[in-house]
A and B are shown apart, each in its own frame.
Chain A
């Protein structure tokens, strides 16, 4: 039977679940185990499936069941980048074996199997419950497997962690039970992993008093269940049994007994896992847990609105003397991290106590946590304290267990987990920095995701001491967040495998993956270690394997930049960028750029300089155990000062690498100034006058600076030029604002005008400003007018006389403070209409607008006009209807200044005369108008001269 069939069958059943079922699966009975001992000889050893140079591995699960509504699911995960074969053997309660067809797992593949399908296919009716064994030949942790047992009807589940013989140092296991009420049931499943008969003796501790139970005999591969409540009842222990401790001792060598435990309440759907610890396999007096749910989760966590969690922490002293316990919770919000220390507790020998978590709940309040972790430190020997931690919601059927890890366990510093993000499934990786010394600074880890056809590697993640990092895989997909190489997770990606590594001396973490589906109410936790199968080293096959960032600095005086040294490190086929701390940076010119620690600050001197750094790199070599050496021999003389304090030299270690890393960065300190007529005016205020030529330019240093997208912003009424002569008067608008210079004239006045020059210099955005107070003279025009008349002596129809012009203009000018001088001129445009009737009766007209004869009309303070038209004896009638616009303009006494308009008025005259007898002309009608002068910034413009009009017949 093909494995894929099992997987598809199981997937269809998962969707039927309605209530939250908590599944926490730890790969290995003991947290953070190491294969201290070679796997024990196995009497039913199948033939090796792979190279003889690798070892046989047997993973044993204490129980499975498909009876009475229970479903058991086995998930197999291949963390390696090569295919592997797996053999599964089922043992019924009596120890009889049922072999499952061999399973092939492709590189980095994970598969799900429903055990009931195997039984149906093989007709194994008497295998409805029992234990399970996985065999593979390869590296330690070359296959990760987890067994999940669920009762969908009662929303119950528990996980069955696997055990392997080499995980144990003694034949004694410790655990505790706890419950929220008196209706929960605690069950322990015991299975003999070997063929030889064994005897297991349980001892219960209630109120710190020991009650030894009747020994339990287990034949070859036989499995039995122990109900703690019933056992205590037989021992006549009836009070104070809501929590307690249990010790299992057996008479076989370490690793012969597989055990799993669960606490369930069928009514409420509460379920949690009991974890058993081999105290002698523990290495420290500290325990770390990644991810606690406290208060209301973030909306993106997917829980129903109003859902709120409270952590429950129960601890047991397995020691024969009292121990002191200190507990602290570190949580992170968007505003930073905070640590809450609980009241220290002293536990008597074998005492079980639930800790008061109120200080944490109060401190968190309504804050939305990014993540949280817990640390427990105790006196006494390593492993003296065992703990059970769960985050429970108010309905008590949503329970998230938090497995604890011993930070000094010679763990493999990494994990590999399958995940699903299809439908409503969510997958979140939680990585806790187990460094308890805040002064050590952040530590680094790498997270690598594999999808079908895509490798996705996040940049090395920095996590502060004690903090927990949460990475929501589905969010990475849905928000299309690129990885370090710009890869995006396809939006239809449904499942994959996540692998994480702590960066050896640069990081120390415990981690797990929380897989849950809030809509279906399912959740599980994965914490399978990732085998150390290849070296971590600076990858010299890529360009610039070591470097500093920024690789180029372009900036301006006063700006600061954080410098960082980086290595491109390869690990198991992936390349990650890793920041190196403690590097000393140097500058080639302190006047251009100064260095203070990791901060480069640009000085007042523009120019080009270089910052550089050199440092010692390290290589992470596997040496013994599950960490074979790849890629050449390890350096001979490791330096102890770079070894992480927790690093166990029997496993993997960091060693200095000859050569070291280096990098440099070119620094361009850019100065950009605005200048006016060569004088720097950046951030200054200048007083100018209308009509003054404003010559602005930029001064850029160093000269190699590339300016692009430069743009001037010049407020106010400004023009590029005004040109006028007898045939044309035109304004050139200021449109060219994208050069490094700009020349213009203001027409209107106004204070506080900010001229802005912006753009990018070597790719850096900049803005430079200068303020101008633009002054403008104020002017007045007064007019007086004459009369329209006929001059029969000169034979003219005229506006005005010799003594009194038709119209007289006088001006007064008031200069703004700080300015004097300048000139005034007058410019007049005309729209004449002159008509005459010839003696033959033909009417002719002389018309067309334009400049009035000459530019300028007059230079000076005052002027006048006495327009006229001839009266000849070849005409019968003559009429005039002329309109005019007169401008008063001003020009400052400054080089390059132009005339700008100040005031304007319109005026007109008209008259009609006819020739009578004796060639005497008579004025038949006349008129004149003049409007008050108004302030204007509109220039007089024309395209022709009105004096060039000609007479044409009408």
Chain B
């Protein structure tokens, strides 16, 4: 599956969002703190960004790909900075099952996410009103083959123009994987 990225200029007026408290860290550090702000249904807000997450399907059959669609929108008045490496690594995902337990990584996910080497690292300035869309094939990274209900949240680090880091968390997406009926 091809994951493409688009930046879309938003024509709508962006509502001022309460600023978040962000721990000071280097702009390049991916180990930033997760925003503590409460999430509204359908999207998360933090420091001028809104991160919306949704699944292509709420119900998927076991073995079918689970694709998470992400939309990062600068809802503030100032440009914000993100670094683009790859869709799969630019977001930090939290996937829990219905018991609240974290879902383990796949072999591919472990290999991908364990590497900290970065060749492509594009500094992208997201102007007010601009939106970035990403798509992550979650089921390639996490073991979601078994039937059940999963809850996914995504976070992404960003920076203000002065280098202050921040992180925005998405809304929680519920996805139910259905076991194949016995033949």
Q: Does B104 contact A (CB under 8 A)?
A: no
Contact A858 B111 (CB under 8 A): no
Question: What's the dominant secondary structure at chain B's contact region?
Answer: loop
Instruction: Flag the segment in B36-44, B118-126, B145-153 that touches A.
Output: B118-126
Choose among B26, B29, B86, B122 the residue that contacts A947 (Cβ–Cβ < 8 A): B86
Question: Nearest-CB distance from A168 to chain B (Å)?
Answer: 110
A343 at the interface (CB under 8 A from B): no
Q: Which residues of B are found within 8 Å of A865, using beta-carbon distances?
A: 119-122
Q: Tell whether A947 pairs with B115 under 8 Å between CB atoms, given A794-B25, A794-B26, A802-B28.
A: yes
- Asked if A791 is at the interface (CB within 8 A of a chain B CB), the reply is yes
Give the complex CA separation of A563 and B21 in angstroms. Answer: 98
- Quick check: is B94 within 8 A (CB to CB) of the other chain? no
Contact B83 A866 (CB under 8 A): yes
A830-B119, A946-B119, A947-B115 known; 7 other A-B pairs, CB under 8 Å? Answer: A794-B27, A802-B28, A828-B120, A858-B84, A866-B83, A866-B123, A947-B119
**Which parts of B1-54 form the interface with A (CB within 8 Å)?**
2, 5, 25-29
- A868–B26 touching, CB < 8 Å: no
Q: Would you call A337 an interface residue if the criterion is a C-beta within 8 Å of the partner chain's C-beta atoms?
A: no
The answer on a CB contact under 8 Å between A949 and B122 is no
Check B26 against A793 for contact (C-beta < 8 Å).
yes
| A660 interfacial by beta-carbon distance below 8 Å | no
Asked if residues A867 and B120 are in contact (CB atoms below 8 Å), the reply is: yes
B-contacting 9-mer, from A119-127, A546-554, A587-595, A846-854: A846-854
Listed A/B pairs (12) with beta-carbon separation below 8 Å? A794-B28, A802-B81, A832-B117, A854-B86, A858-B84, A866-B123, A867-B118, A868-B28, A868-B121, A946-B119, A947-B115, A949-B117
B residues in contact with A868, CB < 8 Å: 28, 118, 121
Query: Contact residues of A with B, CB < 8 Å?
Result: 725, 791, 793-794, 796, 798, 802-803, 805, 828, 830, 832, 834, 846, 852-854, 857-859, 863-870, 882, 884, 946-950
| B163 contacts A882, C-beta separation under 8 Å | no
Contacts of B85 in A (CB 8 A): 853-854
Q: 1/0 per residue B101-139: CB within 8 Å of A?
A: 000000000010001111111110000000000000000
Question: How far, in whole Å, are A854 and B121 apart by their CA atoms in the complex?
Answer: 11
Residues of chain A within 8 A of B97, CB atoms compared: none
Bound CA span A949–B159, Å? 28
In the complex, how many angstroms separate the beta carbon of B79 from the nearest chain A beta carbon? 14
When distances are taken between beta carbons in the complex, the residues of chain B under 8 Å from A866 are: 28, 83, 121-123
Residue contact B119 to A805, C-beta cutoff 8 Å: no
Q: Which 7 A-B pairs have the closest CB atoms?
A: A794-B26, A853-B120, A802-B27, A870-B116, A794-B29, A793-B26, A866-B121
Is A854's CB under 8 angstroms from B26's CB? no
The B66-110 residues at the A interface (CB cut-off 8 A) are: 81, 83-87
With contact pairs A802-B163, A866-B83 given, residues A947 and B120 touching in the complex (Cβ less than 8 Å) = yes
List the interface of chain B (C-beta within 8 A of A). 2, 5, 25-29, 81, 83-87, 111, 115-123, 159, 163
**Cross-chain pair count, CB within 8 angstroms:** 82
Shortest B53–chain A CB gap in Å is 20
Q: Name the B residues within 8 Å of A949 (CB-CB).
A: 117
Residue of A nearest to B116 (CB): A870
CA A830 – CA B29 in complex, angstroms?
23
A107 to B83, CA, bound (A): 106
Q: Which residues of B contact A834 (CB under 8 A)?
A: 117
Closest Cβ–Cβ distance, residue B33 to chain A (whole Å)? 14
Pick the contact of B117: A793, A846, A859 (CB < 8 A). Answer: A846
Q: Which residues of A contact B119 (CB under 8 A)?
A: 830, 832, 852-853, 865, 867, 882, 884, 946-947
Measured between C-beta atoms, what is the minimum distance from A852 to chain B in Å? 5
Asked whether, in the complex, the Cβ of A854 is within 8 Å of the Cβ of B117, the reply is no
Residues of A with C-beta under 8 A to B5: 859
Residues of A with C-beta under 8 A to B29: 793-794, 796
Bound Cα distance from A626 to B182, whole angstroms: 108
Is B120's CB under 8 angstroms from A950's CB?
no
Nearest CB on A from B152, distance (A): 22
- Nearest-neighbour CB distance to chain A for B14, whole angstroms, equals 22
A805–B119 CA distance with the chains assembled, in angstroms: 13
**Do A857 and B120 touch across chains, with their CB atoms under 8 A apart?**
yes
Cα-based distance from A400 to B33 in the complex (angstroms):
122
With contacts A846-B117, A870-B116, A949-B117 known, is A864 near B122, CB below 8 A? yes
Question: How many Å lie between the Cα of A859 and that of B29 in the bound state?
Answer: 25
Instruction: Report Cα–Cα, A748/B27, bound state, in Å.
Output: 42
Beta-carbon contact of B118 and A869 below 8 Å: yes
Chain A minimum-CB-distance residue to B27 = A802
Write out the residue numbers on chain B whose beta carbons fall within 8 Å of the beta carbon of A794: 25-29
Residues of A within 8 A of B27 (CB): 794, 802
Q: How far is the CA of A950 from the CA of B26 in the complex (A)?
A: 26
> Residue on A with the closest CB to B7?
A860
Residues in chain B near residue A864, CB distance under 8 A: 122-123
In the bound complex, what is the Cα–Cα distance between A796 and B25 (angstroms)? Answer: 13
Q: Is B26 a contact of A791 with CB atoms below 8 Å?
A: yes
Complex CA–CA separation, A870 to B31 (angstroms) = 12
Q: Which of A791, A805, A828, A853 contacts B123 (CB 8 A)?
A: A805
Alpha-carbon distance A948/B159, docked complex (angstroms): 27
**A947 CB to closest chain B CB, in angstroms?**
6
B residues less than 8 Å from A857 (CB atoms): 120, 122
When chains A and B are docked, how far (Å) is the Cα of A725 from the Cα of B4?
11
Q: A854-B86, A864-B122, A947-B86 are in contact. Are A869 and B28 (CB under 8 A)?
A: no
Bound-complex Cα distance A830 to B118 (A) = 11
How far, in whole Å, are A950 and B114 apart by their CA atoms in the complex? 10
| Interface contact B117-A863, CB-CB below 8 Å | no
Given contacts A853-B85, A853-B86, A950-B111, contact A869 B117 (CB under 8 A): yes
Residues of A close to B120: CB separation below 8 A? 828, 852-854, 857, 865, 867, 947
Q: Shortest beta-carbon distance, A607 to chain B, in Å?
A: 50
- A803 pairs with B26, CB closer than 8 A: no
Please name the residue on chain A nearest to B121 by beta carbon: A866
Give Cα A798 to B28, complex, Å: 9
Chain A residue contacts of B121, Cβ below 8 A: 865-868
Taking the closest CB of chain A, its distance from the CB of B137, in whole angstroms, is: 12
Which residue of B28, B87, B163 is within 8 Å of A854 (Cβ)?
B87
Chain B contacts for A854, CB-based, 8 A: 85-87, 120
Q: Which residue of A lies closest to B4 (CB)?
A: A859
Q: What's the Cα separation between A118 and B28 when bound, in Å? A: 127
In the complex, A865 Cα to B87 Cα: how many Å? 16
In the complex, A857→B115 CA distance in Å? 19
Q: List A contacts of B159 (CB < 8 A).
A: 802
CB distance from A888 to the nearest CB of B (A): 15
Which B-chain residue is minimally distant from A830 (CB atoms)? B119
Bound Cα distance A863, B116 (Å): 22
Closest CB of chain A to B167's CB: distance in Å? 15
- In the bound complex, what is the Cα–Cα distance between A808 and B159 (angstroms)? 19
Chain B residues contacting A725 (CB-CB under 8 Å) are 2
Task: Determine how close the nearest CB of chain B comes to the CB of A235; give it in whole angstroms.
Answer: 124
A949 to B114, CA, bound (A): 12
Set of chain B residues within 8 Å of A882, measured between Cβ atoms: 119
Q: Which of B28, B84, B123 contacts A796 (CB 8 A)?
A: B28
Q: How far is the CB of A879 from chain B (nearest CB, A)?
A: 13
CB neighbours (8 Å) of A863 from chain B are: 122
Centre residue among B5, B27, B118, B163 by max chain A CB count within 10 A: B118
Chain A residues within 8 Å of B111, by CB: 948, 950
In the assembled complex, the Cα of A828 lies from the Cα of B119 at a distance in Å of: 10
A805 to B120 Cα, complex, angstroms: 11
Q: What's the least CB distance linking A913 to chain B, in Å?
A: 15
Please indicate which of the listed interface residues B5, B28, B29 has the most CB atoms of chain A within 10 Å of its own CB. B28
Minimum CB distance partner of A868 in chain B: B118
A868 to B117, CA, bound (A): 7
Distance of B162 from chain A, by nearest CB (Å): 9
Distance from B85 Cβ to chain A, minimum over Cβ atoms (Å): 6
